[in-house]
């Protein structure tokens, strides 16, 4: 009987000891977790203040400032024919609103988003706040029922920079390409057709996204070989490059960022 009581007592001691260890471990985990949460909160606060510091440090235009500019933008119709459109940008003091006046032409969501991105990038490049400005975009000379695709983003950014800084746009330069949020120039389609229409409308330089001044194509040849009384034929492909500069008789420059493009547009 005494031996059994001793065993029960020892079991109770072991259980209490384990309970103390587990409780201590949980307390330490909760304490470390609270420290981590507090650290994350402080980091969020720092990032928020840092972002607001950037906004606060941006310059503001005069209360009576207003300006309007125009830029030519190449596009490709559904029949693969290039056309040149004219985009107008008017900026004046306001509340950060964006207005579109494209007549009977509908704009797709990606085109609308490219306009918003262009304003943000232009604000960063010029260090001018757009929170107190209203933007009006107008497009003309387009024979289409809907404007779609984001490849006009780079041109819209150039026009917006021009409007904010009151700089003249070099009309001898045309640009195509999507605009990334960091000012990088993305992809664009219909480079050949856009290059041709740019030349026809009087441009000397056509700016395109990096790597798109030429296109890789293949020639197809039929090759046959006899094996006894049998003959096997197959198609063989040989690569060749199409240089759009030669095709359109215009100087084509590849660019990676909108900052590179400003060197061609603004003297």
Q: What is the pLDDT of residues 164-189, one digit of tens each?
A: 999 999 999 999 999 999 999 999 99
Give the up-direction half-sphere exposure of residue 183: CA atoms within 13 A in the CB hemisphere: 14
Cβ pair 224, 232 in contact under 8 A: yes
Best CA proximity match to 87, nearest among 77, 95, 75, 97:
75
Residue 90 domain flag: yes
Residue 22: pLDDT over 70: no
Are 261 and 133 members of one domain? yes
The answer to whether residues 207 and 219 belong to one domain is no
Q: What is the CA radius of gyration of the chain?
A: 32
Residues 145 and 226 in one domain: no
Q: Does one domain contain both 102 and 231? A: no
Residue 45: inside a domain:
no
Tell me the CATH number at 193: 3.30.230.10
Same domain, yes or no: 233 and 157:
no
What is the spatial distance between Cα 188 and Cα 155, in angstroms, rounded to a whole number?
A: 12
- Proportion of the chain above pLDDT 70, given as a percent: 73
190 is a domain residue: yes
Higher pLDDT, residue 12 or 92: 92
Residue 70 inside a domain? The answer is: yes
Q: Which residues span the domain enclosing 225?
A: 214-243
Residues 192 and 225 in one domain: no
- Of 70-79, 178-187, 213-222, 257-266, the range with the lowest mean pLDDT is 70-79
**Residue 9 within a domain:** no
Please report, for the chain, how many H helices and E strands are present, in that order.
6, 11
What is the total count of domains within the chain?
A: 2
Does 131 fall in a domain? yes
Same domain, 234 and 137: no
Same domain, 119 and 226: no
Contact criterion met (CB below 8 Å) for 91 and 129: no
Strands 82-93 and 146-147: unpaired
Specify whether 205 is located in the same domain as 218.
no
DSSP string, 150-179: STTHHHHHHHHHHHHHT----TTEEE---B
Q: Supply the pTM of this predicted model.
A: 0.74
- Which residues is 106 bridged to in the sheet? 146
Q: What average pLDDT score do residues 139-146 get?
A: 61
* Distance of alpha carbon 17 from alpha carbon 23, whole angstroms: 10
Q: What pLDDT is stored for residue 100 in this prediction?
A: 84
In a domain? residue 135: yes
pLDDT digits (tens, 9 = 90+) for 71-80: 999 988 878 8
């Amino acid at each position: 009987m005494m031996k059994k009581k001793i065993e029960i007592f020892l079991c109770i001691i072991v259980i209490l000891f384990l309970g103390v260890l587990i409780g201590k471990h949980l307390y330490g985990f909760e304490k470390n977790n609270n420290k981590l949460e507090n650290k994350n909160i402080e980091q969020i606060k720092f990032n928020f203040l840092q972002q607001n510091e950037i906004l606060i440090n941006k310059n503001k235009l005069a209360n009576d400032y207003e300006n309007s500019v125009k830029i030519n933008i190449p596009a490709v119709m559904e029949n693969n024919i290039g056309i040149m459109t004219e985009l107008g940008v008017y900026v004046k003091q306001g509340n950060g609103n964006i207005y579109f006046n494209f007549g009977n032409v509908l704009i797709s969501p990606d085109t609308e988003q490219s306009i918003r991105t262009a304003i943000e990038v232009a604000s960063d490049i010029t260090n001018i706040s757009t929170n107190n400005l209203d933007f009006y975009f107008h497009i003309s000379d387009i024979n289409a029922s809907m404007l779609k695709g984001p490849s006009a983003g780079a041109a819209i950014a150039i026009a917006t920079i021009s409007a904010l800084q009151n700089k003249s746009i070099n009309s001898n330069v045309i640009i195509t390409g999507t605009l990334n949020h960091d000012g990088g120039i993305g992809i664009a389609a219909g480079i050949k057709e856009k290059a041709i229409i740019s030349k026809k409308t009087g441009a000397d330089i056509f700016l395109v996204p990096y790597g798109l001044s030429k296109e890789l194509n293949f020639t197809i040849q039929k090759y046959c070989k006899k094996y006894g009384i049998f003959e096997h034929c197959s198609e063989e492909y040989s690569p060749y490059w199409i240089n759009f500069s030669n095709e359109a008789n215009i100087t084509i420059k590849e660019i990676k960022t909108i900052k590179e493009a400003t060197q061609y547009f603004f003297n």
